[in-house]
Structure 1
Amino acid sequence: MEIRCGYRIEVVCHQPTPAILLLDPHPSRDVDIVSGPNGAVTSLADSGDVPCVEYADGFGNRCRRLVVPPGGAAFTNDMIVRDSGVADAADYDAQEVFPGELPSEVLEYMLSSRYCEVDELSATAWQLFGKYPPGWNRVQQICNYVNAQIRFDYQCARNTRTAAQAMNERVGVCRDFTHLAVALCRCMNIPARYCNGFLGDIGVPRDPAPMDYNAWFEAYLGGKWFTFDARHNMPRIGRVLVARGRDAVDVPMVHTFGPHILQKFEVITEEVPAT
C-alpha cells in the first residue's frame, strides 16, 4: 500500500532565528519513499527558498538546520511512502533482558530523562506491575494502565507536563501517554524509547478529530525493539517513523533558538486509493 504524508507548518519570527527541523521520515524508511523525501522551506516574507543543511543527530534521526528569516517561514511537504500494510509486529513470548546483559547502546533508554522520572515513579511501578511475569505481557499491562489512567484531551496539552504529572493529572495528549509508559517501563528495567511520526486512521474507524501525527514508543524485549502505543493501545497499520529519542525533548518537530509564533499547523496522513 502507499500512504500520502504531508504538512504545512508556518512560524513567524521577528528576527533571524536559527532552527532545527525533524519533520520528514526517518532514514530507515528511505527505501520506502516514492516521492518527496525532504520538504521545502520558504520565506513568508518573499516566498524565496530558505537554505537548509541536513545532518544526522546522535539518535540517527534526519535533521535540517536553517535560519528562519525575519517575517517567518513555511515548512511544507507532500510525499508518498510505500508501506507493508501490516500491523505492528508482536511477539507475546518475548522476554525481558537482564540489565547486566543489555547492549551498551541500549542503557541510556533505562535512565531518567527530562520528561520521564524513573526515580520518582519506581516504587509505584513495582507496586503496580511487579506481580506480572516479566516480558511482553508486562509491557502490555503498562500500556493498559496508562490508557485507562489518562484521558485524551487536546485542549489540555501542555509542553512541560512530565510522566509523573500526567499520572497525577490524568489528562493529556499522545506524548503524555507515551512519556508515562516509557517511564514505567524503565522503572521495571525494560529499555524504552520515545518515537513520533505520521499515523493516520488506516484500517480503523476514522477519528472525528484525527491527529495524523502521533507519539508512541518502542520497548526492548528478547534482543529486539517492538512498537507499543499506550494512546491507541492496539496494533496499527501505516506508522511512518520520523524520529526516536529518550523523550520528546530529543525529537521536537521544530526547535527554534529564539522566540517564534506558530501561525499554522496542518498535517495529513492517508492511504492512497488503489488504482
Structure 2
Amino acid sequence: MPLRPNHFSGCAHPMYIKIGFDIQLAITSPMALIYVLHVHPSRRDDLMAPEVVMVEPALRVDEYLDAFGNQCGRVNALAGVSEVRFHSASIIRDSGLPDEVNLAAWQHDPTELPPATLQFLLPSRYCEVDSELLQFAWNQFGQTPPGWARVQAICDFVHQHIRFDYSAARATRTAVEGWREGTGVCRDFTHLAVTLCRCMNIPARYCTGYLGDIGIPPVPYPMDFSAWFEVFLGGRWYTFDARHNTPRIGRVVMARGRDAGDVPITMCFGVNTLKKFEVTTYEVDVYGNPVQTV
C-alpha cells in the first residue's frame, strides 16, 4: 500500500494509528502498583489485535474495571524486585474525523440531567467547584449563551489564561492553583476548564489518552499522554480540549474520571523513581508502516 500524505486541511479519511508506551519504575521495597494504561473499553473493538500490557518481571497482574468503567491493573512487586517495566504496542483503527462540533447542543437544567451525570457537577480532588472559582465563573460566563457557546467561551478563556510549560508541571496543582499561577501542562488546562464548567452547572469529566501530531505540523515536545475533557450537552457527551482549543484528529481515550486523581497512568504504594517514560502515537498504513507527512 503506498504511503498517504497527511494534509493539514482537516479532510477526513479512515486511518490506522500506532499507539504504545514504555514505562520503567525503580522501586525500593515490595509494593502494589496500579496502572491505567489500556485503551478504554469503548475503543477496544477498534484495535487490530487484542491489546496486551507487558509487565517485567513476569509478575501476577489482577485486571479489573474501576467505578468509571476504565480497564485497570494491579501488580504486586515482591521482595527482591527493584524495577518494574510496563510496555505495549498496538494499532488502532480511527475514523480520521476531527472532534465533533455541534453549535446547537443545548445545556440541561440540573433537574433534567440523567442521574449518572450528576457526579460530574461536584467538587473533586483537583477541581474545587466550592471555591472562589464559583463566583468568578458566574461573573465571567454568566452572560454567555448557555450550551455549546458557553463551553467554548470557557475553553477560550482557559486557553488564553494558562501558559503551557513542561518545566512548570506539578502533579499536585489544582484548578484554583492553575488559575492563580497561570501556567501548567495539559492536565492543568483540563482541570481549570472542567471546574469552570461544573461551576456553570455543566457536567464535565476528565479524560486521558493518546493524541498525536496528526493533521497538524509536529510540535517540538516529546510525545506524552494527553488530557482533555468531555461535557454533557444535548443529551450526550462531547469532547473539548482547552489546551489546543481546536478540533483534533486521532484522539484515543484511555480513561475517564472526575479528575486526574481518578485516572493515574501508574500509582505506586511506596517509594519509586521514574527511569523511562516513552509514548508512541502516529499514523501508519494497514501494514504498520509510518505514513509520510507533507
Same fold (TM over 0.5): yes
| Alignment counterpart, residue 60 of structure 1, candidates 46, 59, 69 | 69
More off after superposition, 144-153 vs 257-266? 257-266
One-letter code of the match for 1:225? W
Pairing 1:87–2:87 present: no
The aligned length equals 270
**Structure 2 Cα separation of the partners of residues 192 and 157 of structure 1:** 23
Q: Do the aligned residues in 2 keep the contact of 1:216 with 1:229 (CA within 8 Å)?
A: yes
**Structure 1 Cα separation of the partners of residues 231 and 52 of structure 2:** 28
Q: After the TM superposition, which residues 188-199 of structure 1 pair with which residues of structure 2 at under 5 Å, given as runs? A: 188-199=200-211
Write the deviation string for residues 178-226 of structure 1: whole angstroms up to 9, x where unpaired: 0000000000000000000011000111101143410000000011000
Pairing 1:31–2:45 present: yes
Pairing 1:204–2:204 present: no
One-letter code of the match for 1:249? G
1:243 Cα deviation (Å)? 0.2
1:273 Cα deviation (Å)? 3.5
- Match of 2:6? none
Q: After the TM superposition, which residues 255-266 of structure 1 pair with which residues of structure 2 at under 5 Å, given as runs? A: 255-266=267-278
Write the deviation string for residues 31-57 of structure 1: whole angstroms up to 9, x where unpaired: 1011351210002xxxxx122111100
- Match of 1:143? 155
Pairing 1:124–2:133 present: no
Pairing 1:97–2:114 present: no
**Secondary structure of the structure 1 residue equivalent to 2:177:** helix
Q: After the TM superposition, which residues 37-48 of structure 1 pair with which residues of structure 2 at under 5 Å, given as runs? A: 37-43=51-57
**Structure 1 Cα separation of the partners of residues 211 and 85 of structure 2:** 22
**Structure 1 Cα separation of the partners of residues 258 and 224 of structure 2:** 22
- Match of 1:46? none
**Structure 1 Cα separation of the partners of residues 215 and 285 of structure 2:** 13
Write the deviation string for residues 127-159 of structure 1: whole angstroms up to 9, x where unpaired: 110010101010000000000000000010001
**Structure 2 Cα separation of the partners of residues 235 and 143 of structure 1:** 12
Q: Do the aligned residues in 2 keep the contact of 1:163 with 1:179 (CA within 8 Å)?
A: yes
**Secondary structure of the structure 1 residue equivalent to 2:276:** strand
**Structure 2 Cα separation of the partners of residues 263 and 99 of structure 1:** 46
**Secondary structure of the structure 1 residue equivalent to 2:82:** coil
1:274 Cα deviation (Å)? 5.8
**Secondary structure of the structure 2 residue equivalent to 1:155:** helix
CA RMSD of aligned residues (A): 1.0
**Secondary structure of the structure 2 residue equivalent to 1:35:** coil
% identical aligned pairs: 53
Write the deviation string for residues 225-257 of structure 1: whole angstroms up to 9, x where unpaired: 000000000000111100000000000000111
Write the deviation string for residues 149-176 of structure 1: whole angstroms up to 9, x where unpaired: 0000001000110001101100000000
Q: Do the aligned residues in 2 keep the contact of 1:11 with 1:263 (CA within 8 Å)?
A: yes
**Secondary structure of the structure 1 residue equivalent to 2:130:** helix
Q: Do the aligned residues in 1 keep the contact of 2:223 with 2:278 (CA within 8 Å)?
A: no
Q: Which runs of 5+ in 2 are unaligned?
A: 1-14, 288-294
Q: What TM-score results when the alignment is normalised by the length of structure 2?
A: 0.90
**Structure 1 Cα separation of the partners of residues 198 and 139 of structure 2:** 14
1:68 Cα deviation (Å)? 2.6
Pairing 1:4–2:13 present: no
Pairing 1:51–2:55 present: no
**Structure 2 Cα separation of the partners of residues 105 and 68 of structure 1:** 36
Q: Do the aligned residues in 2 keep the contact of 1:36 with 1:78 (CA within 8 Å)?
A: no
Shift >2 Å, 4+ stretches: none
Write the deviation string for residues 96-152 of structure 1: whole angstroms up to 9, x where unpaired: 000011111110000000000111110000011001010101000000000000000
**Secondary structure of the structure 2 residue equivalent to 1:34:** coil
Q: After the TM superposition, which residues 154-233 of structure 1 pair with which residues of structure 2 at under 5 Å, given as runs? A: 154-233=166-245
**Structure 1 Cα separation of the partners of residues 185 and 28 of structure 2:** 30
